[in-house]
Amino acid sequence: MDKRECIKYLNSGTYDIEINNRALSQKEAIYGKEIFLRGIIEFSNFCRKNCLYCGIRKDNKLLKRYRMSIDDILNRVEQIIRSGIKTVVLQSGEDTFYSRDLICEIIKKIKKRFDVAITLCIGERGVDEYKAFYDAGASRFLIKHETSNEKVYEKLHPGETLKGRLKLIENLKTIGFQVGSGNIVGLPFTTTIDYINDIFLIKSLDLDMAGIGPFMPAENTPLKNFMSPSVITVIKLLALARIVLKDVNIPATTALFSLGGADALKSAIDVGANVLMPNFTGDNFRKNYRIYDSKKPLDMTIISELIEKKGLVFSNSKGERRKIYVRNNEIGEKKSHFCWEN
Ligand code: SF4
């Protein structure tokens, strides 16, 4: 589908069953019935930045802040491994307390003890730091572009530019990271055209994961009175993303679960989402990782029920994007049942 067709569909009132089926077929042709799991550990809610929509922004003085110790983190990684998950996401605000050396130490300790892929989601750092994290053993990095609308980006991220963010994404790719990005649907001041541009931006950057989730208002932020988008808008975008982005990993996000519950997750899977991200932060800390209000804990019980009901299976792999899996395992494209260029 081209941009014009995508915008027309997004602006129409209802689902198109044919588009939903096409998206699901696309996912099943690449990933079959498998769902990839990533265990998230939110290890610090300190942040030096002030994004207008975010509940853990620096100026939110009412939030109780926390940092996990290395032992706290290792204990949680162990829980993730015990659940049969082989990818860990270490997520935090932009917290420079965790220096380059400290992050490298955490990565090395995890890699020494566990056979697990490490994804970092820790925001903006210098290229030399990113390189050190990669050399220490982290292989994936999540950094959302948030919105492809440059003016809105600047309005909501004081002192920052979209160009700067995209440059960082390019740097991460050059270092060798598998990079995931994505946008916030319904971010104040954005439009349906922006959301389609977001998908095509991810395509043009050839990213490995596309996190497309709804805006959720957060108390004590300048955008606390803005509304979330409808679940249907998010689901339509996920279907379009699967069709346009083909083998890119697409999660059914925790924000979508918080907005629409398990039914929204089911709908996301029905249109080709192939990744779920259970939270292993632990109740004591998790309640203060309040990037938005009414954040619901997505745990293994909810996920297992969902997977069983849908007749799906957990993948026992590290959940690489198919293109990367094929490359790493030296499987020729002819042997693969999916053609990257179609
Ligand atoms: S969105 Fe990220 S960088 Fe911005 S305030 Fe929140 S945690 Fe910090």
Give, using CA atoms, the residue closest to atom 4 of ligand 1.
Answer: 51
Q: What percent of the chain has pLDDT over 90?
A: 88
Residues 6+ apart with CB under 8 A from 318: 86, 87, 116, 117
Structural contact between residues 188 and 157, judged by C-beta atoms closer than 8 angstroms: no
| Euclidean distance between CA atoms 219 and 176, whole angstroms | 37
Per-residue pLDDT for 321 more than 70? yes
Ligand 1 probe mutation, 291, 293, 295, most atoms within 8 A of CB: 291
Residue/partner pairs of 108-114 with CB below 8 Å, 24 or more apart: 108/136, 108/137, 109/70, 109/74, 110/73, 110/74, 110/77, 110/137, 111/136, 111/137, 113/74, 113/77, 113/78, 114/77, 114/78, 114/81, 114/88
Q: Residue 117: in which H helix or E strand, if any? A: strand 117-121
| Euclidean distance between CA atoms 145 and 184, whole angstroms | 9
Mean per-residue pLDDT for 195-204? 98
Query: Given pLDDT bands bounded at 50, 70 and 90, which one contains residue 338?
Result: very low
Structural contact between residues 183 and 195, judged by C-beta atoms closer than 8 angstroms: yes
DSSP string over 25-56? HHHHHHHTTEEEE-EEEEEE---S---TT-TT
> Does the beta carbon of 54 sit less than 6 angstroms from any atom of ligand 1?
yes
The least confident of 212-221, 276-285, 317-326 is: 317-326
> Does the beta carbon of 293 sit less than 6 angstroms from any atom of ligand 1?
no
Task: Locate the ligand 1 atom nearest the alpha carbon of residue 123 and give its number.
Answer: 3
| Euclidean distance between CA atoms 187 and 53, whole angstroms | 8
Bridge partners of 176?
none
Mean per-residue pLDDT for 126-141? 98
Query: Given pLDDT bands bounded at 50, 70 and 90, which one contains residue 323?
Result: confident
Per-residue pLDDT for 340 more than 60? no
Task: Locate the ligand 1 atom nearest the alpha carbon of residue 57 and give its number.
Answer: 5
Q: In the chain, count of helices (H) and strands (E)?
A: 13, 9
Per-residue pLDDT for 114 more than 60? yes
Ligand 1 probe mutation, 46, 56, 60, most atoms within 8 A of CB: 56
What pLDDT does residue 331 have?
Answer: 56
| Euclidean distance between CA atoms 8 and 87, whole angstroms | 37
CA 60 to chain centre: 24
User: What separation in Å is there between the alpha carbon of 48 and the centre of ligand 1?
Assistant: 8
pLDDT, tens digit (0-9, with 9 covering 90-100), for 218-238: 999 999 999 999 999 999 999
Angle CA 169–170–172, to nearest 5: 65
Q: Residue 183: in which H helix or E strand, if any? A: strand 178-185
This prediction has a pTM of: 0.93
User: What separation in Å is there between the alpha carbon of 108 and the centre of ligand 1?
Assistant: 26
Structure-token pair, residue 218: 């957060």
Give, using CA atoms, the residue closest to atom 7 of ligand 1.
Answer: 93
Per-residue pLDDT for 342 more than 70? no
Mean pLDDT for all residues in the chain = 94
Residues 6+ apart with CB under 8 A from 181: 142, 143, 144, 145, 169, 202, 205, 207, 209, 210, 211
User: What separation in Å is there between the alpha carbon of 49 and the centre of ligand 1?
Assistant: 6
Q: Mind listing the domains of the chain with CATH numbers?
A: 3-328 (3.20.20.70)
| Euclidean distance between CA atoms 274 and 290, whole angstroms | 25
Structure-token pair, residue 244: 């346009």
User: What separation in Å is there between the alpha carbon of 194 and the centre of ligand 1?
Assistant: 21
Per-residue pLDDT for 209 more than 50? yes
Q: What are phi and psi of 22, to 5 degrees?
A: -65, -40
What pLDDT does residue 320 have?
Answer: 86
What pLDDT does residue 98 have?
Answer: 98
What pLDDT does residue 171 have?
Answer: 97
Per-residue pLDDT for 336 more than 60? no
What pLDDT does residue 59 have?
Answer: 97
Query: Given pLDDT bands bounded at 50, 70 and 90, which one contains residue 333?
Result: very low
| Euclidean distance between CA atoms 317 and 188, whole angstroms | 38
What pLDDT does residue 341 have?
Answer: 40
pLDDT, tens digit (0-9, with 9 covering 90-100), for 24-69: 999 999 999 999 999 999 999 999 999 999 999 999 999 999 999 9
> Does the beta carbon of 321 sit less than 6 angstroms from any atom of ligand 1?
no
Closest CA to 223 of 252, 260, 184: 184
User: What separation in Å is there between the alpha carbon of 33 and the centre of ligand 1?
Assistant: 34
> Does the beta carbon of 251 sit less than 6 angstroms from any atom of ligand 1?
no
Ligand 1 probe mutation, 40, 50, 54, most atoms within 8 A of CB: 54
Per-residue pLDDT for 16 more than 60? yes
pLDDT, tens digit (0-9, with 9 covering 90-100), for 245-270: 999 999 999 999 999 999 999 999 99
